[in-house]
Amino acid sequence: MLRRGRGSEGPREAGDDGVAQLKIGAKAPAFALRDQSGKRMRLSECKGRRVVVYFYPKADTPGCTTQACSLQEALPSLKRLKTQVIGISPDPPEKQKKFAVKYGLKFPLLADEDHAVADAWGAWGDKTLYGRKFKGIIRSAFVIDENGKIMATFYKVSPKATLERVTAALRGST
């Protein structure tokens, strides 16, 4: 289950869809979630290095696979930029593990089954598909600095644009 640190939610502002979004410079909301191996991971474990945290709707779907595989292929260059990648979705660890094994993903995929972390990060909200309205993951990516502060936010980012956007932010050209 989720454990959020006290006072972990950084300043937020409403996006154009009414969902509260994190602000640049705010402290990234803390989390402790299980990865694809069932091991609990905390954002605080990444202190001292930069982190790309991205939220995706569902493991092993076309868009999520495109997004994850592009980040996996870029891991060597991201490591040279002293950056770790963490993916988060509402899928249980077992499904995350199948996804990681199938595509050779070597970074943590975290299970946010009650979507509390996605909500804290502004990545959970209203969606529409084929005229049907529902709540779900708003595909988003964040770049966190070495001190746990938000460097860049990308709400409603496309799977194909994720890597380009986070790399530009990491290189300081946003």
Instruction: Answer yes or no: 64 catalytic.
Output: yes
- Pairwise CA distance, residues 106 & 20, whole Å: 31
Other CB atoms within 10 Å distance of the CB of residue 173 = 7
Catalytic-role residue among 33, 46, 53, 64: 64
- Taking CA atoms, 90 is separated from 2, 13, 20, 48, 174, in Å, by 12, 24, 19, 27, 29
Residues belonging to the active site: 64
